[in-house]
Structure 1
């Protein structure tokens, strides 16, 4: 029997401590298996003893770090630059869509930085920097490149400069992204790093975020410095080369979580490096908050995810408020060169890091368990005269002293947090009393009292007002008979799977979702046979002297107020939703509701394309796949592609405006029909929707940015009730 047991449960042979790097993280002490079979290693995980292995593990970690730094020949010069040291205190950074209605008021037509920041201060304690996002997911609807889309923001470059100054006035640094994948849009005429550095300097931004980049190359550092306006570099992904740590002062952390928290590789190698831990899709952010607090690193407080609003729950928001209060009170500790992760605690599932400075130490503590604990949390070395403060709860601790150690007790909520400050005799800490009073006020209400329930943000569809009814068929329009219509459509957003709140919420739905199925009654109506043309829109402008208040990009393709010769019968583009509505009001028409548009193109048989169920490339304009944006085809070139009712140019010509939706933070428009313009070389450009059961979701901000060379419209008109 003993032999059988020995075969089934072999005795592990002690092995030297190996630093186990997993991507941008490092396993903690005794997290590695001990040579058992995989199933047994998992079974025995609860038996691990990180306390007993800590000193040997820490020694191995320090040796590994010395070797890695020597290998990359790091001289830490970039981290000593006075103009970039602010990155070491850049703890909380949201990614903010420029379309967010808290950041820009589309009615008043101006930026609202104070409103945006006040909301974040109220909900989770405020931010240190912001990553403003003007590009994806709208880029690719025409050939504007990533730099064009910044210049098309309301007010142009001058407006963006003032926007950044408004953030600076509130002590907030500003980042903009760069997209290495944007190689199919308009050629900027120079290298990507030079164009990005030049624009960043022109607008006065503080940092560059490298979207999808596993480290910004050294060329970005060189190009930025050459402008005389050096900025911080922050890639989205883990460095592909450790040497990039030397000049990328920040990075994001997409960290898989585990019971035993992992250690940030980049912060361990360079404690002044700022990581922002991120999980854009998590509706419970306890893991990322705890992992960040354990490592003493920052948080990417991303809520507006491409127009899907993923708000922090009240519990997570309050936890972040308290974390950031501690971070901002003790920032020098968090960049300590003597950081000691995984210092021993006295409870299973409770983990701590020590950040020592001369005469004082800060410990950050997390409780990974489902139960609260409140006594004998840690036992630390003690010297006479040292004082201890429960920083999380804002009060002094009276420890049990004995045998040269202090045993510290404090309350830790289930899945909660703690922090301790030790101060030597005669060592002062600036503003300690004020900090403790502030933290005590925050801790008066335990985290468990705050809701951890997440709910999608409700949306409302903007009603389309009825047009003056027609008793006779207007010229250029097709009569669509009334019906009971099976409306089935889904959004083609690249990301988000089918999360609650994604895509849009029709009036009959309890929440937004990607896929929609509804049977509804459609009354008879007329719809334009073709999209509105340049000639038709010119007649409107001439008759009304229409000039929008925000006229940037308005009819950008026209010359001296008129379409180019030969373009009269092409679909009008570079018109905002507001411009289209103005034309239709003048013409006695309205936009079609999306289900009307779909019914006019599909009929009642559920076909995928206006002509049937099989794709036929000859039925649509040839796609434009270059970096320039040619004019769209003239209307009426594909009569064989007409719908069952005779409506033409439904798909593959220009995108067409239909309904508008809005929630508290984002406005969006549903576009139908797809487009002839198809930029190449990237998965991330605005996706096509040629099928009649697909729609595109287009984020709305302001006419200057919303107008597009690939987007037009057609009108609808109500019919006199018989």
Structure 2
């Protein structure tokens, strides 16, 4: 969020011609505005003075982490691996100060579970989640969870959202709340946190809709335009102790984000796992973040200076600086917005006898030229590079600076430009599905799908991400993951269940096999006393994880379908959009529900007019159906087909439907307890001779 005043912004951009001449008048106007604005809102800084919240002023690097990230949770051992997660970040870019753990979107809305239910469904439940939070905190990392104001179509929690969130955060011991899509968290969240007797830091995603929110939202995010002249953070200008985290989740070159943050002396959102799309920062960006964070952590008291002065004059076009003064020390942060190196006469500073100067970015002492009571500072600023100057009084190096200089000196031996700025997508792997014994004729309840040529055309319906490399999934014939897929296939004959597996069929499987999952949370949660309700025996079985479905198919000598087999069975060879043709016909599928509670599922076989060209029924708008699994180093996902009849209302952010046969849903996988859903079932296939 910049100051938003058109005249001030125009003056900033006029500095492209006259930096020194414009700065005094601009700064005076900024200071007058701040004084008047703080008085207008009756600003009270008491929250920033609370001893238990002082850590917020040193929370420089925050990452958003999907709970599904395989570095955070190991599905094989069913354990959280916090140390591994943090070690990776420390090794690559110096580590983090806080983490925003994300258990909700994009899976939220596949059924009627609300945002609080989804968090409670994390593997191991509240006890394991609380322990995971404590593991982060023990290692010096604060923990945030999101709250979603748009989640009004799922199960009613029976409490006001602020109250439900604050109580749950207190239960798991979290440190803060991130308000997704929120222009400031309302005061009701602060009041709810006070009632819970558990301090919570409020952090909205978007800029405050009312300036008074600054008093109790101690953090915020920022999405800033990449202008030549760095913008000034409105909220840090009003309250220097306020911590902003600058974010650009889609950027594959983060230099604009990092320079904007460093100029303002504010924090950085190091988000890399973006809804399952892995956007790892380049080696150059990682090296820059490590150095920025090292300086921040070395002189944190200066960055909250109430006399912070942005846009102090420099001696070069395209070089911008801020000053953070204290009684005996001052810090200047500099950014070179030019595409070339500058290394001479960067700053001219007021000088007094006994003052000394450190080049913090390179970890060395400076020997400036002293001219008429001013020190002329020479620095090396790489192309699109950074600088940091510390001025102090006396012969003794201030406490804590010796190790900072040593660390920065070692890092500076390798210029940022020597690190690669090449971004690379993360390849994916299709998890193999073993072939079955080949059947000579159709097993009971199955339909024969003949061999044939098939144009497999499908598009992922992720809400965000455009068509970036690495989005959606990567089939074995593709050289990169991408959203849209086209491939001519020659399919062998197979058999597929005419209907999704029913509750009664799954009950018989349990009785015959004795199968019980290792992670039983939410397993068949719609059943009563270990059996389906009488009215639902013929309805599709749901609340089964991918492993549960595979176990059923395996016991029957079958397997789950590959996605292209499912689509071929539903579509035939003419590329139709729906099993019956190219135009939607609501009479051929179950009536949709938008209720806040998931109603009982309709029985299978009630809509024969919706059958595919091969006679396969209930392919769309009944229940989602498991097919293929994909994985990369950080994320596992499953391709779901067919969509469901249940569509929670009120937000386009809920897990989107894929009723068209040319669309699929990508469902992030973590653990059976969370993956199971009330609208997610399956059908099996068997290979044919």
* Alignment equivalent of 1:709, drawn from 655, 678, 688: 678
Q: Deviations over 1:554-610 (max 9, x none)?
A: 000111111111211100000000000011100100001000000000000000000
Corresponding residue for 2:253? Answer: 284
Separation in 1, partners of 2:396, 2:591 = 75
2:179 is equivalent to residue 210 of structure 1 = yes
2:11 is equivalent to residue 30 of structure 1 = yes
* Alignment equivalent of 1:544, drawn from 513, 518, 523: 513
Separation in 2, partners of 1:476, 1:29 = 72
Separation in 1, partners of 2:673, 2:477 = 32
Separation in 1, partners of 2:667, 2:44 = 46
Given that 2:2 and 2:231 are in contact with CA atoms closer than 8 Å, whether structure 1 keeps it comes out as no
SS in 2 for 1:159: helix
Corresponding residue for 1:518? Answer: 487
Corresponding residue for 1:87? Answer: 56
Separation in 1, partners of 2:220, 2:398 = 30
SS in 2 for 1:430: coil
Corresponding residue for 2:3? Answer: 21
Separation in 1, partners of 2:324, 2:7 = 18
Corresponding residue for 2:203? Answer: 234
Q: Deviations over 1:670-690 (max 9, x none)?
A: 000000110001111000000
Corresponding residue for 2:165? Answer: 196
Separation in 1, partners of 2:91, 2:139 = 15
Corresponding residue for 2:281? Answer: 312
2:545 is equivalent to residue 593 of structure 1 = no
- How far 1:27 sits from its partner (Å)? 4.8
Corresponding residue for 1:570? Answer: 539
2:332 is equivalent to residue 351 of structure 1 = no
Gaps of 5+ in 2: none
Gaps of 5+ in 1: 1-18, 34-44
2:138 is equivalent to residue 157 of structure 1 = no
- How far 1:524 sits from its partner (Å)? 0.2
2:447 is equivalent to residue 478 of structure 1 = yes
Normalising by the residue count of structure 1, what TM-score does the alignment of the two structures yield? 0.94
* Alignment equivalent of 1:699, drawn from 654, 661, 668: 668
Separation in 1, partners of 2:206, 2:562 = 41
Corresponding residue for 1:146? Answer: 115
Separation in 1, partners of 2:306, 2:571 = 66
Given that 1:253 and 1:278 are in contact with CA atoms closer than 8 Å, whether structure 2 keeps it comes out as yes
SS in 1 for 2:117: helix
* Of 57-66 and 285-294, the range deviating more from structure 2: 57-66
- How far 1:30 sits from its partner (Å)? 3.0
Q: Deviations over 1:519-554 (max 9, x none)?
A: 011000000000000111111111111111110000
**Alignment of structure 1 residues 392-411 onto 2, 5 Å:** 392-411=361-380
Separation in 1, partners of 2:153, 2:11 = 49
* Alignment equivalent of 2:654, drawn from 671, 685, 693: 685
* Alignment equivalent of 1:666, drawn from 618, 635, 646: 635
Separation in 2, partners of 1:26, 1:522 = 65
Separation in 2, partners of 1:71, 1:390 = 40
Separation in 1, partners of 2:439, 2:399 = 76
- How far 1:467 sits from its partner (Å)? 1.1
Corresponding residue for 1:6? Answer: none
Given that 1:28 and 1:260 are in contact with CA atoms closer than 8 Å, whether structure 2 keeps it comes out as no
* Alignment equivalent of 1:448, drawn from 417, 435, 439: 417
SS in 2 for 1:320: helix
2:274 is equivalent to residue 293 of structure 1 = no
- How far 1:471 sits from its partner (Å)? 1.4
Corresponding residue for 1:59? Answer: 28
**Alignment of structure 1 residues 309-348 onto 2, 5 Å:** 309-348=278-317
Normalising by the residue count of structure 2, what TM-score does the alignment of the two structures yield? 0.99
2:595 is equivalent to residue 626 of structure 1 = yes
Given that 1:27 and 1:262 are in contact with CA atoms closer than 8 Å, whether structure 2 keeps it comes out as no
Given that 2:13 and 2:229 are in contact with CA atoms closer than 8 Å, whether structure 1 keeps it comes out as no
Given that 1:462 and 1:661 are in contact with CA atoms closer than 8 Å, whether structure 2 keeps it comes out as yes
- How far 1:455 sits from its partner (Å)? 1.2
**Alignment of structure 1 residues 88-167 onto 2, 5 Å:** 88-167=57-136
2:390 is equivalent to residue 430 of structure 1 = no
Separation in 2, partners of 1:482, 1:110 = 43
Given that 1:28 and 1:342 are in contact with CA atoms closer than 8 Å, whether structure 2 keeps it comes out as no
Matched pairs, number: 689
Give the alignment's Cα RMSD to 1 decimal. Answer: 1.3
Separation in 2, partners of 1:108, 1:520 = 37
Given that 1:28 and 1:261 are in contact with CA atoms closer than 8 Å, whether structure 2 keeps it comes out as no
- How far 1:429 sits from its partner (Å)? 1.9
Give the ranges of 4+ consecutive aligned residues of structure 1 lying more than 4 Å apart after TM superposition.
25-29
Q: Deviations over 1:173-195 (max 9, x none)?
A: 00000000000000000100000
Corresponding residue for 1:361? Answer: 330
- How far 1:31 sits from its partner (Å)? 2.2
2:141 is equivalent to residue 172 of structure 1 = yes
- How far 1:148 sits from its partner (Å)? 0.3
- How far 1:399 sits from its partner (Å)? 0.4
Corresponding residue for 1:611? Answer: 580
- How far 1:56 sits from its partner (Å)? 1.6
Separation in 1, partners of 2:675, 2:3 = 45
Given that 2:240 and 2:304 are in contact with CA atoms closer than 8 Å, whether structure 1 keeps it comes out as yes
Q: Deviations over 1:91-123 (max 9, x none)?
A: 000110000000000111100000100000011
Q: Deviations over 1:599-649 (max 9, x none)?
A: 000000000000011110011111111101112110000001100000000
Separation in 2, partners of 1:587, 1:30 = 74
SS in 2 for 1:688: coil
2:253 is equivalent to residue 272 of structure 1 = no
Separation in 2, partners of 1:76, 1:55 = 28
- How far 1:719 sits from its partner (Å)? 1.0
Separation in 1, partners of 2:135, 2:2 = 45
2:486 is equivalent to residue 504 of structure 1 = no
